[in-house]
Amino acid sequence: MFSLTLQRMVGASGLVLAIIAAANVTGAQTLADIHLDVIPRTDAEVARIETVTAPAEMFGAPEPFEEKSAGAGTVRARNDRDAFSQPSANMAFEKELEFKVGNGLFKKIWVSSPASTKASDGLGPLYNARSCQRCHIKDGRGHPPETNDENAVSMFLRISVPGGETHGIPGYHATQAHPVYGSQMQDFALAGMATEYRLSIAYEEMEVALSDGETATLRAPTYQVAQPGYGPLGEDAMLSPRVAPQMIGLGLLEAIPAQDILAAADPEDENGDGISGRPNIVWSTEFGQAMLGRFGLKAGIATVHEQSAAAFSGDIGISTPLFPDPWGDCSPDQNQCRGAVHGDGDARGFEVDQGGMDLVTFYSRNLGVPARRDVDDPTVLKGKQVFYDTGCIACHRPKYVTHRLTSQPEQSFQLIWPYTDLLLHDMGEGLADNRPEAVAAGREWRTPPLWGIGLTQQVSGHTYFLHDGRARNLLEAILWHGGEAEAQRDAVVEMSAVDRAALIAFLESL
């Protein structure tokens, strides 16, 4: 059995081989990218990619192709709420119907069983939403309950308890679903059935002094499970608040070579820069083996398809071939939920069959990333230099080139600018949820992609950031950084107000 102390970076292949040995699988490429039909890179391509993806050194003008955040798939930056809802710009015309039908399933309002609308029944019986779109509003970012419009809220609590399998993965935390409440707290239920809880949030305001006489105010949340409908949670229950992230560029993140992600990992901080990025290695239900986690706020899922199927099950209570339980996340103790009429007793076999899952997956992979705005603006360029000089790129890695792919031309061999390393980082006690997930510890979070972040207000109608929406703007999000990012956070506090404003202008251009 390999331990994490043996996973020191002796090149990316060293970490991959450690994972392979621990997970009892063979072949680095099989482990890393089994979800993709990859055409191997030539030596010449490897050398060219290394040059193209090197960090910028000059900041007087934009880099070549910098405005094309998603390469050839980049879409025009619209000025309305549909900016995140466009198909990849390089999508073939004949595939647009597939995208639109997938969009229809993503927006579909599910109803309870039995119903005359056989293609739409199977909701719940316990659920957080009646459609995917209800959480990922306009394919954008959710937020905590702060308005009177319940349909505008897209937040829930993950829940787990100690115990369960480790799948032989080094550093994997043994956690499992709560024996009563499952893996996720559902705040809606069908008529005649109790909901699992109501979320209560209280905020404490904290003032932060900045340079040049400026100040900022942070709000520290306290979460409470009010009105638990199925009894006490118990002292060993671990909870984590989550708001839905934006949906753009998922297929491109999925197409980044795992080897390129692993190459940036430095779990022992051997280079002494204070940054100790680690990959989350997860057990894939889809492939039945250990894989690199990429999706979710702690990188707890490996592929877009599995992420989509898990959301159908946990959020809406909809069965799929990958997660076939028609009652979704209901535990064996929730007899009324499991015994209710479900929507899988017709020709579909499942409430969403594999054809439907393929359409939703295609849609989710191909939501286009809008082009950068003001990329040559002097203030934005100054902010980019501040971003680099402050060391933000140690986690928010600017660019990659995706795999050459035979079956996904939209994502194939694209120079992309997501500003993430897709690795786990200790973000300090202030952001800790103290709930581990696979290899991720309770203080660790995946570096979120920054592309599109400047359009959050336009698309989602708010500027709430971080895993639970506590930050009300980009500056607050930065000021919540701790742990490995504490030095960068302190640099932002101490830099001139002019540089701080330029940094925010750069982020808003992404």
Question: Domain map of the chain by residue range?
Answer: 4-509
The CA distance from 142 to 358, in Å, is 24
Q: Are strands 175-176 and 126-127 parallel, antiparallel or unpaired?
A: unpaired
Kindly state the DSSP code that residue 469 receives in the 8-state scheme: S
pLDDT of residue 152: 52
Dihedral pair phi/psi, residue 226, rounded to 5°: -90, 145
The CA distance from 429 to 7, in Å, is 25
Query: Alpha-carbon dihedral of residues 170, 171, 176, 182, nearest 10 degrees?
Result: -110
The CA distance from 113 to 309, in Å, is 20
Question: What is the distance, to the nearest Å, from the Cα of residue 136 to the centroid of all Cα atoms in its chain?
Answer: 12
96-107 vs 354-365: helix crossing angle, rounded to 10: 100
pLDDT of residue 2: 27
- Token representation of residue 398: 């600017």
The CA distance from 161 to 174, in Å, is 9
- Token representation of residue 434: 């103290």
User: Are the beta carbons of 423 and 265 closer than 8 angstroms?
Assistant: yes
The CA distance from 220 to 252, in Å, is 34
Query: Alpha-carbon dihedral of residues 332, 333, 337, 339, nearest 10 degrees?
Result: 60
Return the SS3 of 421: coil
pLDDT of residue 312: 98
Q: Are strands 400-401 and 415-416 parallel, antiparallel or unpaired?
A: antiparallel
- Give 236: exposed, middle or buried? Use CB within 10 Å, 0-12, 13-18, 19+: exposed
pLDDT of residue 8: 33
The CA distance from 38 to 433, in Å, is 37
The CA distance from 445 to 5, in Å, is 20
**Length of the chain counted residue by residue:** 510
- Low-confidence stretches of the chain (pLDDT beneath 70): 1-31, 147-153
User: Are the beta carbons of 318 and 312 closer than 8 angstroms?
Assistant: yes
For residue range 91-125, what is the model confidence (pLDDT) as tens digits? 999 999 999 999 999 999 999 999 888 889 999 99
- pTM for the model stands at 0.93
The CA distance from 311 to 295, in Å, is 12
